[in-house]
Structures are given as structure tokens and as C-alpha cells.
Amino acid sequence: MCGIIGYIGEKPAGKILLNGLRKLEYRGYDSAGMLLLNKDKFTRIRSVGDIDKLEKKINGQWPKGKMGIAHTRWATHGGVTEKNAHPHFGRAKEVAIIHNGIIENYRELKEKYLKNHKFSSQTDTEVLAHLIEKYHQKHPLKKAVESALKKVHGTFGLAVISKKEPDKIIAGRSGSPLAIGVGDNQYFLASDATPLLTHTRKIIYLDDGEIAIIKKNNSYIYKIGNNNQINKKAQNIDWNTEEAQKGGFPHFMIKEIYDQREVFMDAIRGRLRPKEGSAQMGGFNLKDKEAQKIDRIILLACGTAYYSCLVGKYLFERLAQIPTEAEIGSEYRYRNPVIDNKTLVFSVSQSGETLDTLVSQREAKRKGAYVRGIVNVVGSTIAREADGGTYIHAGPELSVASSKAFTNMLAILTLYALYFGRLHKMSFETGNKIIKELEKIPGKINLILKQNEKIKKIAYKYSKYQNMLYLGRGINYPIALEGSHKLKELSYIHSEAYPAGEMKHGVNALLDKDFPVAAIATKNNLYEKMISNLEEIKARKSPFFVIATKGDKNIQRMTSDIIYVPKTIEILEPILNVIPLQLFAYHCAVKLKRNVDRPRNLAKSVTVE
């Protein structure tokens, strides 16, 4: 979730851009940079680290120019270095660009259109800058940008300026938000409204597939590749800065739950291979022949990430037939684990700094295992010390309780299980079916989010209880664990989770009218058994609500507290089923007036034992 800020007007741009970057710090970043255009001269300043380091490099010598662009980078392609920081130039340094998103086919663009070009960074963005500049040699800037974007696969929110056309900024959007701020003889551009509210309340939001020409006294919006101007009126935004950071949501937690519609696609984009019915995991650093020799997988994690690993265990064993263990990092490090050179160990962590997971990873590496990371933060310690791995591309999570990182972890574990499955006995047809269902997940997430008000009513009803039991079976048992975990974290209600088949082995003793239950009973091969468990709960007069598959009318005879989720294949059910439980926990916490984004006694990244 990088940050974009642009300015064109009658004032010196430098301080406006720097202050805009500060307003975007909440999005998370690892480096920053700005570029100003004064007549026909570009001045670019970049630094690794926080905005203070960028200002220190300026050292009071503010570059001249009344237009410019600036960026905070959250690394995806290429490490955290000054050379990889934005803005980036084209080959002749006539064009400069900042970009949010991922250019999936940047390698193909390099090979097909930019064979003789030399690049100073490892980024996909610089490739786009070179391509735009190439077309700009023969075409106006708008057409050059459009010509390049037509060849791009992926997502982008971008701003482009050119020495040849120093009176404009070109902006374009597909999958990555952009907002235009309307001022008096000045216009602004940003990745959200937050940095704009200091200067104006009049905001125009670009939609996907739109391009804008921004000048100091007007803006012109078009569909990419179409010269018919779109008439868009500015909206008056009444948010304050904090509300703007949250996109109008009351808490970061609920914003991040809603982010899952978009960031899930970021996790799988460019990694699906429909023609092979498989997945391509860039950065895995293991050849297919080496991967085929793996006879055991260990998934290391703590907290929410551990529950994603429990789902991963089901996935690897079901799809790839590889024995798999999910291990809690804080326990694993104190054992003497049996590992050999046919063992693959994944360290799974949002922050990439979880100490217990990191130390366990080091032990596994010392004993000769293949060690790979699945993390969110580029350049984190786990990422650096692993011999390869995959970034989940969830963007920064500012709420302590994880939501979107969890679903993206599930996405990546599914892709790895698909990859290993195809290396073994999985058929092309099965692999292709999984790919098609994965591509439908964002739309199905959206259908669940539309039930937010209904889920809130159920949450308010159950928030009065002091205890809660979560039940699931099979691949959904880890989701019961995660749902219980979220309720504890956010609302401080005591809860625990069990595999529903264990009820008779002690849990039934707890059930009565004051001990409610949350049950996952979606239609899969354990559905009938789960229905039997619900009958037991009902007989003991415990209140309960159910996560059920859309169209399941049978469940209505048991309770009216039902949250329906769209049908998907069984291995993908956890991705959908966890979202209503996230919303349930969130609304319980709101009702009880808890500090939702900062629960007591908890930290986002656990870097001490």
C-alpha cells in the first residue's frame, strides 16, 4: 500500500509534497522519494527509511519547481534500496513516474519492447517508465501512457510527468485508488484523500480504467484509450485526517476486513498458470526436480499465522499427499526436531519479525532443511534469512488483530499446495478447477461483506455473554480456532474452539442457556456430521449462530441466527468462512466499547520472548 502525492500550481511544490508524504505514513512504507520539475530540469531526492531521512537529505535546500510527484514505497519487486525507491525515470530521463500496484508481465515487457535498455533498479515500475518514454518519443504524453498501459497486465495507480509537457501530470488507475484534489489555481493528486484535506475538501475519485490530465487550473478525465471526456463533479469531503486514513471507516480493523476484496487478488495475481493447471511461485528458489524430492513439510508460525498453517496442513496433505505438520514457533524452538534434507520448512509471519518463528527457522536451517518464508513485510528478518519464499502482498495492517494478512496467507498456502499437487499426482482438470474457483473468491468476499449489518445484529445479540464456544470440522476447524482467537483479542470475551467431533469428550458439560456457540456448518463432506452436532447443542438449549452455505434451508429449522456464505470448493471454504467471524468479533468489540485497533496487552509484532 504505497502512497502517491502530486502537485501542480503556483506555489513551491517541495514542502507540499513532503507534508503530503507525512500524511500518508499510516499506509506503511520502507522508502520514500520526490521529484520536482522546474522548466526543463528534474530534481529527484530519494531515501531508505522514514520521511525524516528524506527531509534530512534535502537539508533545507528545497528544490525549485511548482509541480512534482512524491511516493512512499512498500516494496514488492526488488529489495529495500534507494535505487528501488520511486520516482523512476525512463531511459533518457525525459519522463518520471510513481506507481502503486504490481505489473505482472514486466519481464515480458522488458524482453519484447525494451531489449537494449539498461535498468538501474529491480522494480517493475522502472520498466513501465521506460515503456512510456519510448512511446512518448512519437506521441503526446497522454497517448504514450495509454499505449503503455494497454500492454500492462496487473494493477496500477500512477502519476507521470514529462520535460516535454511541463504543464501537466498524467494519472491513471486500475485496481489502485487515486484521488484528485481541486484547489484555486492548483491541483493535487493522491492515493487517498488524507493528504488532500489540508488544502481542499473538493475531491474527484478516479475509477478503474480511467486516465486524467491534471493541470494547475483544471483536470480532464477519460477512459483509457478513449478521447471522449468524462464529466465528473468534485465531492465535498467532510472527513478529518484520521477518518480519511481509515477511508471513512470508524476503525482500521473494519477497513482492513473490507480491504480483503482487493488484496486477495494481489496475493494470487501473476501466480496462477491456467494452461498448466498450476501455480508459479516466484522467489521460491527451488527447481521442480528438487521440489519433487520433498517428502515432508513443516509450517512454523505463531498466533493467527499458526491457524493459517493448520489450514495449510490440510491443503498440502489433500492436494499434494505430502505429510505436513503445523508447529507453534514458541514451542518448536525448545524441541529437538527431526529434520533432514528432504524437509521443507515454511516460516509464516505477517511482520516477518516474529521472534519465536524466526529462532525456530534458524534451527531448521541449521539442521539442513530447505527454509522458505511466507511474509507480508519486504526486507523483514524472516524474509532476509530464508533462502527464498513469497510475499503475501496484503499491504500494511495497522490494526493489531490480523484480518487481511490471514486470508492472504491462506491464498499463498493454497497456491503452494496447488504447485506441489501438480508436481505429484494431481490432474490438470483438478488444478484448473482450483484456479477458476480462486479467481471467484474476491466477488464472493464482497457478497459476505454486504451482510455486515445482519452480522452486526447477531454480534450485538451475543455480546452480552461472558463465554463462547466455536465449533468446526475438518478444514474448518482451524477457522473455528481463528474465530475464537479474534473474539478474545478484540472483545475480551472468553472463548475456545473445538473440533465438533470432540463435543462428547468433555465439551458438552459446558453447554447450557448461558453458554452460546458459533458453528461452521457449510456444505461439504462433513456437513451431515456437523448437523448432528448442532442437534446436540439445540437439545442442551445453548444459543447458537451458524455459518452456512447460501441456499441451505435445512439449517433454518435449527436457528434463525444464520450467516450465509457463497458456495465454493471445500479447500477454499476457510477463506470465505473466516470473514463473517472477523466481522462478528469486530462488532462485539464495538458494542462493548473496546479499543478495537489496539487491544489491551497486545502488540502487532512480537519481537521478544
Active site residues: 2, 604
> Which three cell numbers, joined as nine digits, stand for 595?
479499543
Give the phi and the psi of residue 460 in degrees, each rounded to 5.
Answer: -60, -35
> Which three cell numbers, joined as nine digits, stand for 479?
477457522
Handedness of CA 145, 146, 150, 153 (dihedral sign): positive
Cα→Cα distances 496→131, 195, 457, 472, 596, Å: 55, 43, 22, 12, 20
Closest CA to 5 of 185, 190, 145: 190
21, 14 Cβ separation under 8 angstroms:
no
Q: What are the residues facing 3 on neighbouring strands?
A: 72
DSSP string, 42-93: EEEEEEES-HHHHHHHHTT-PPP-SEEEEEEE--SSS-S-TTTSSPEE-TTS
> Which three cell numbers, joined as nine digits, stand for 188?
493535487
User: Which H or E element spans position 535?
Assistant: helix 527-539
Please calculate the CA angle 208-211-214 and round it to the nearest 5 degrees. Answer: 135
Q: How many CA atoms lie within 13 A of 35 on its CB side?
A: 26
State the DSSP code for 33: E
| Pairwise CA distance, residues 138 & 466, whole Å | 70
Q: What are the residues facing 236 on neighbouring strands?
A: 202
User: 289 — alpha (psi -120 to 50), left (phi > 0) or beta?
Assistant: alpha
